[in-house]
Structure 1
Amino acid sequence: MAQADFEIETWMRAGLAGDRRAYSACLSALAPRMRAMARTDLPGSLAHLVEDVVQEALLAIHLKRGSWDPTRPLLPWVRVIVRRKAIDVMRARPKGGHEPIEDHHDLHGVAVDPLEGLLLEQALARLPDRDASLVRDHALGGAEPEALARKFGLSPGALRVALHRALSRLAEAARKDEEWKPKT
């Protein structure tokens, strides 16, 4: 048995006897070894979960420390706990897995058409100012009907009628644009 292993086991025995400093030293010395164990237990795509496994394993060791047989080696007992916690963490993950965005170099920003909305604005320009403003605020801006009614000084019923008429005029303007387009 390596000197470090012997020291860790000695600290664990002293910790079980009530020595808090020795117990703390034992857990501190175990943590890096547990990280290495977790790295071997987890697939590369889940390497970001190593610390989760270590934390879960440290908690399990603390809660189950009384079940360790001091006449037997400590590290195989710890190894089993780490392996089981790695399995638990893998089972808790969604089946789709984790794919870091850094791994996808082929992703591009969404292309924005600078002319998008131009036809709509051209159609709105053909409407009376109030109708265009009603359509912009309600359909494009998402304004609530109560706020629109207050803004335009209309009752809820009058607002519905005004919106309906504005949308009808907009549809008519769009139809006229289609009629004037040259056939190709």
Structure 2
Amino acid sequence: MDITDLILDDHQEQRRLFAILEQIDRRDTDILSAIWDRLAAFLELHAQAEEEIFYPELLQVGRAARRAAAVREETLDAIHDHNEIRDAVAEVGRHRTGTDDWFAAVAAANTANSDHMAEEEREGLTEFRRLAALPRRHQLAVAFAAYEARNYAGVQAVDKDPEGYVRTAADKARTAPNGSLSVGTLKRT
């Protein structure tokens, strides 16, 4: 098991759910609402799992490999993207399900999410596979799967300051006993 594969699996599920929404008759508002609610909760859970587990470790392995500046920029961009996705998801909630405005807001959320996933797949995930050994990726995959399982009912959406996030993640990595985030501490999350 590899955390990068779990993240890619989540991305595929997000794409699938957006595609399902595009194929449902706009008059089936109960179904549209149910699918959207599931997708919106999943988008946030996925973002927070990445923010808790993946991105701090990307920063750590980047620093160890003397690629700190590159992974810092990737992480700043990802946190910014997560905030944009949160804002797009909130915008959907401002419209009556099934209306033109609702579908336009869903399309905007899809675009924000698709842009983020494509960039993450090209950069952050690729960088992490190059820099982190498979045993570490496996350990993180277990923590990532556990985080999503423990929080299956959803998590509260909270925008993060990208600079503050990177600073905090770097501070935690420096104070961890082995220089990483110590995945064992994430069991209570």
> Normalising by the residue count of structure 1, what TM-score does the alignment of the two structures yield?
0.30
Higher relative contact order (CA 8 A, sep 6+): 2
> Normalising by the residue count of structure 2, what TM-score does the alignment of the two structures yield?
0.29
Determine which structure has more spread, i.e. the larger CA radius of gyration: 1
Higher helix share: 2
